[in-house]
Amino acid sequence: MLPIYIVGFIIALALALSLTPAVKMFAVKIGAVDVPNARKVHTRIMPRLGGLAIYLAFMISLVMILPFIPDVFSARDTNFIKAFVVGGSMIMLLGALDDRFQLSAKLKFVMQIAAACIVVFGYDIKVVFVNIPFQNNYSSLENWIAIPLTILWIVGVTNAINLIDGLDGLAAGVSGIAVSTIFVMSLIMGNTTISLLCLLLLGGIIGFLFFNFHPAKIFMGDSGSLFLGFSLAMLSMLGFKQIAIVSLITPLIIIGVPLSDTFFAIVRRWMQKKPIFSPDKGHLHHRLREIGFSHRQTVLIIYGIAAFFGVLAVIQSSAALYAANWVTFVVICIMMFFMQIGAEIIGLIGKTRRPVLDLLARFRMKTDAETRSKS
C-alpha cells in the first residue's frame, strides 16, 4: 500500500512543480498580485494565487491515484474524503477570490463558517471523543458540544495558517512540517486514509516551496493559506479523535506555531484595544526580523520551532501509551510556561508587557534582598 502512496506523492510533487509557473502567469494576467505597503516585508509587486497550484496538485493526484488503490477505505473514510474535497474546494475558491478582489474579513469569516457547517452537517464529520484529564479514559461528546467545537476548530485552524503567512516560504514550510507530523502519527495508528491525504498534500507543498522559498517568485495568497489551514484542521481532527489514548492536546501541539501566534495576536490586539482581525506587525516573524535576524534566518528558526512541536507531539502521544494523562498534562504546562517566556522576550504580546518575566525579576530581587539581610 505504501509504495502506491509514494507514487501519489511523486505525482503531486511533479504537478506542483509544473503548475506553479503557469499559475504565476495566470495570477499576473488577472491582477491577483500583492502590492507592497508599510506592513509588508516585500518591496515589489508579487503574484499571489499560488495556493491554486497546491490545490490542483493535490486534487489531480488524488483523482489519479484512487483507482489504483485496493478497496480498503471504509464508507466512513470515503465520506471523509468527500467532505475534505468539497470543503477544501470552497475554502480555496474563497481564498482565490480574496487574492483577486480583497474581500472583507467579515465576509471571509462567514464563508469559512459556511464551509465548516457543510462538513459537519452535510457529511457528519465532527469531533466525537475527548480525553478526560488525569484519567486514562475518554468521554463521548453530545452534539450540542461536538458541533460547535468542530466548527470552531476548523475555522480557527484555517485562520491560524493565514495569520503566519508573512514571509517567503513560512506558511508553506510550517504547514509541510505539520502535515509530515500527522503523516508519521497516521502510520503509527494505521490510519491509511490520513496517510494518503498527507502524502499528496505534502507533495504539493514541497513542489510549491521551490518557487515560494526566499526569494519567492510567487506568494501562496489566501487561496493557499486558507486551504492549508482547512486541510490541517481536517487531517488532525480525524486523525486523533478516534484514539482514546491520545489527548486532544496532540493536534494543538502539531500546529503549535500558528495557533500560539494567533493566540498572542488576539491577546495583543485586545490589550491594545484594536479589532481582533486588524493587521499588525507584532507576529512572531515580524518580531524576529526586528530583533535582527535575516529573512531566511527567521523562516528557518520558525521551521525549527515547528519541527520541535512536531517531535513533541509524537513523543507526547506515544508516551500516553505507557504513562498516565497527568504526566502529559505536566509536560504541556511546562511547555506553555516556556512559550510564554519566549513570547515575552521577543515581544509577541507587547514590547513592554512582560508579566511573567517581571514576576520572576521581582522574586529574584526579593530573594537577593533576603540573602543580603541574613549576611
Q: DSSP letter at 142?
A: P
Retrieve residue 8's grid coordinates.
501519489
**Rounded (5°) CA angle 355-360-364:** 145
Element of type H or E holding 175: helix 170-189
The confidence score (pLDDT) of residue 229 equals 93
Q: DSSP letter at 244?
A: T
Q: β-strand 138-140 against 33-34: which pairing, if any?
A: unpaired
pLDDT grade, residue 131 (50/70/90)? low
More confident residue, 70 or 95: 95
Beta partners for residue 33, in sequence order? 47
The winner for highest mean pLDDT among 192-196, 206-210, 292-296, 340-344 is: 206-210
Residues in the chain: 375
Q: Is the backbone peptide bond immediately before 215 cis, with ω within 30 degrees of 0?
A: yes
CA atoms of 8 and 231, how far apart (whole Å): 17
C-alpha dist (Å) from residue 34 to 47, 57, 172, 186, 248: 6, 23, 17, 37, 37
Lowest mean pLDDT, pick from 154-158, 190-194, 211-215: 190-194
Mean per-residue pLDDT of the chain: 83
First to last CA, the chain: 72
| pLDDT of residue 241 exceeding 50 | no
CA atoms of 375 and 371, how far apart (whole Å): 6
- Which residues, other chains included, contact 341 with Cβ-Cβ below 8 Å and sequence gap of 6+? 356, 357
More confident residue, 112 or 215: 112
Query: What's the one-letter identity of residue 99?
Result: D
Retrieve residue 347's grid coordinates.
515581544
More confident residue, 71 or 47: 47
Buried b / exposed e along 320-338 (16+ C-beta atoms within 10 A): beeeebeebeebbeebeee
Model confidence pLDDT, tens digit, residues 176-204: 999 999 998 888 878 888 999 999 999 99
Cβ contact 129:140 at 8 Å = yes
Cβ contact 231:258 at 8 Å = no
The confidence score (pLDDT) of residue 244 equals 38
What is the average pLDDT across 349-370? 74
CA atoms of 176 and 189, how far apart (whole Å): 20
pLDDT grade, residue 1 (50/70/90)? low
Model confidence pLDDT, tens digit, residues 286-336: 788 888 888 899 999 999 988 988 888 887 776 655 555 565 666 677 777
CA atoms of 70 and 124, how far apart (whole Å): 25
| pLDDT of residue 13 exceeding 80 | yes
More confident residue, 159 or 96: 96
C-alpha dist (Å) from residue 22 to 16, 25, 92, 195, 205: 10, 5, 17, 29, 16
Cβ contact 319:328 at 8 Å = yes
The confidence score (pLDDT) of residue 45 equals 84
Instruction: Look up the pTM and report it.
Output: 0.85
- Which residues, other chains included, contact 1 with Cβ-Cβ below 8 Å and sequence gap of 6+? 69, 70, 72, 192
CA atoms of 86 and 102, how far apart (whole Å): 23
- Show the 3-state SS of 258-327: HHHHHHHHHHHHHHCCCCCCCCCCCCHHHHHHHHCCCHHHHHHHHHHHHHHHHHHHHHHHHHCCCCCHHH
**Does residue 114 sit in helix, strand or coil?**
helix
